[in-house]
Structure 1
Amino acid sequence: MKVLIATEKPFAPAAVEDIKKELATAGHEIVLLEKYTDNAQLLEAVKDADAMIVRSDKITPAVLDSAKNLKIVVRAGAGYDSIDTAYAKEKNVVVENTPGQNSNAVAELVMGMLVYAVRNFYNGKAGSELKGKRLGILAFGNVGRNVARIAKGFGMEVSAYDAFCPADVIEQAGVRAVKSQDELFQTNDIISLHIPATPETIKSIDYRTVNQMPKEGILVNTARKEVVNEEELVKLMSERKDLKFITDIKPDLDEEFKKFEGRYFSTPKKMGAQTAEANSNAGIAAAKQINSFFAEGDTRFQVNK
């Protein structure tokens, strides 16, 4: 089978070699398309591919129409909103993700940005410590659990809310379970977002929600840009001079947020999974899933059933 590794934002070189080795164990032909600058390049490369491994690449109906032999697309990572899963299903193309492989990398980034934020972005003035701060985690999936684990090591008081995770599961992890999203925002100094972008969550982090945070609140977003109502958050931060917003997903209103000097930080590009370990873990997992799919018909990670 021909497997296309299509990554506008490439894997680390060592990760590419790991992926190739895993696919080679099953005798697959491997084609590499990195740093492509035109969608036409992707459309051409996918024409005769039987399988694809992608990162944040957009797999649109046009891509799927061009891929006449395509049977499976694996997103090396957890989020898959860049793939038209419904159209893929119509085309009988299996879409999978690799949940959990990037979780520790994202969680470490959260804590690294938090240290940077509470130390006033290292501007030379006295900041504060994370020890004793109250951290609220919105969604207790793989990333949220890793954030909780690391935060407890900092001596933080950790609570979480997840509409789909039972309270007793959260409590078993040594984390206080709250009863609602509103309660989470009302009772924590810092909120870390780990919700997916769905019709229910898009722009749900809005003026009313964030305004419930106590004085000197910090909002952290390493989830999806779309879940934050940027217009309303800009309005709130212009009114509340105590709030900080840090993210690894550059907002559409980046220039507006930059006006809040000392209270806003964004990485130039999405950085959550940008470690050699996460690259390798997610890439190898994707390769193994493709091997299992063709060898055994394994679709346990399918997201478009």
Structure 2
Amino acid sequence: MKKKVLSGHNFHREPFQILEDQFDVTYPSTGHFKKDQILDIIEEYEVFIPNFSFYTDKEIIDKAKNLKLIANFGVGYNNIDAEYAAQKGIAVTNTPNSVLEPTAELCFGLIHAVARRIGFYNNKLRTPEGLSWGLYDNPGIAIFGKTLGIYGFGRIGQAVARRAVAAGMDIIYHNRKPVAKGIEEQYNARYVSFEELLSQSDFISVNAPATPETYHIIDEKAISKMKPDAILINTSRGSTVDEAALIKALKNNRIFGAGLDVFENEPRINPEFLVLDNVVLTPHTGTQTIEGRYDMQREVAENIINFYNGGVISKVN
């Protein structure tokens, strides 16, 4: 008899074909299961696949008497009480490999969009009043020759650095500790303190996970140390940036601009962002490509299959 897998979302079937060949997979008929629906049925399943927007809490874990694996669809796993799952003997996996390139692509796209004011120009050209085509009117900021400071120089941060080097940027970074010398040499990257990152960077990209240590790491004090023409990019987690402090800085032109793919209270976006011309907003679309989503599904499937076959899994607890 095939092991039973509960999918919290009505995922596309094609990338899960390898999973369906070996497991009995249950999907919602449309959209996603609500929490009460999952509580009603999860007891009979050994594997649960939540997507990154569904919180798998203690109540669900306690109800899942036969659960052995929570295979998260997403690299971040703050949507799962992974510590409690471990106490119950339940493994939790994520999808760190498939998110690298699409997230880095979007991050660097936001760098371009904010620096060259692409969103501003696009919006203004669609209005009756348009905008001035004067020689020095509404200028953007060059990227070539500028310094990109990366907060969180893990695999995604390094993928962003690879693109930045190709664009002629200099790289500095801050981590809990420096990366290996070979990695630094690959990107000609230099480790600096957090304060130096803030004061020396023309662009700051936040690529760190959501942890107690990174909560509001970009706050009013941090922003006050940035260059007046600095650009902030956040494609990591909304909790890393104090939105009230950032909005204040953008309104007062304390920094040049920001590009945000993540927000503190997703899917709700602070309405004050929506009226600002110096911020580019995207709705948590770091991996929102057909290829990216399908690769994430395949990584979920591989985690489940390898969990039962004794292969390599991306276990986080």
TM (normalized to structure 1)?
0.89
1:93-149 residue CA offsets vs partner (Å, 9 max, x unmatched): 111112121110001001112221122224164423322221111111111111011
List alignment gaps of at least 5 residues for structure 1: none
Is the contact between residue 49 and residue 69 of structure 1 (CA under 8 Å) also seen in structure 2? Answer: yes
Aligned to 1:262: 277
Alignment partner of 1:281 is 2:295: yes
> Cα 1:74–1:169, aligned 2, differ >3 Å: closer, same or farther?
farther
List alignment gaps of at least 5 residues for structure 2: 126-137
Aligned to 2:8: 6
Give, as a single letter, the amino acid of the residue that structure 1 aligns with 2:44.
D
Is the contact between residue 105 and residue 273 of structure 1 (CA under 8 Å) also seen in structure 2? Answer: yes
Alignment partner of 1:52 is 2:52: no
Which residue, 274, 291, 308 being the options, matches 1:294? 308
Is the contact between residue 216 and residue 243 of structure 1 (CA under 8 Å) also seen in structure 2? Answer: yes
Which residue, 122, 128, 146 being the options, matches 1:133? 146
1:45-82 residue CA offsets vs partner (Å, 9 max, x unmatched): 42311112222121111221222211001112211011
Which residue, 100, 103, 116 being the options, matches 1:103? 100
Give, as a single letter, the amino acid of the residue that structure 2 aligns with 1:295.
N
Distance 2:213 2:263 in 1: 22
Distance 1:179 1:130 in 2: 21
Is the contact between residue 100 and residue 143 of structure 1 (CA under 8 Å) also seen in structure 2? Answer: no
Is the contact between residue 4 and residue 25 of structure 2 (CA under 8 Å) also seen in structure 1? Answer: yes
Runs of 4+ in 1 over 3 A off after TM superposition: 235-243, 250-253
Counterpart secondary structure, 1:223: coil
Is the contact between residue 160 and residue 175 of structure 1 (CA under 8 Å) also seen in structure 2? Answer: no
Provide the aligned C-alpha RMSD in A. 2.1
Shift, 1:38, TM fit: 3.0
Is the contact between residue 4 and residue 52 of structure 1 (CA under 8 Å) also seen in structure 2? Answer: yes
Distance 2:163 2:303 in 1: 29
Larger radius of gyration: 2
Superposition pairs of residues 142-157 of structure 1, within 5 angstroms: 142-157=155-170
Give, as a single letter, the amino acid of the residue that structure 2 aligns with 1:224.
R
Aligned to 1:35: 31
Shift, 1:22, TM fit: 1.6
> Cα 1:232–1:90, aligned 2, differ >3 Å: closer, same or farther?
same
Give, as a single letter, the amino acid of the residue that structure 1 aligns with 2:45.
A
Shift, 1:151, TM fit: 1.4
Q: How many residues align?
A: 294
Give, as a single letter, the amino acid of the residue that structure 2 aligns with 1:139.
G
Is the contact between residue 249 and residue 255 of structure 2 (CA under 8 Å) also seen in structure 1? Answer: no
Distance 1:6 1:257 in 2: 32
Counterpart secondary structure, 2:187: coil
Distance 2:224 2:207 in 1: 19
Aligned to 1:208: 221
Is the contact between residue 113 and residue 280 of structure 2 (CA under 8 Å) also seen in structure 1? Answer: no
Distance 2:102 2:38 in 1: 28
Counterpart secondary structure, 2:27: strand
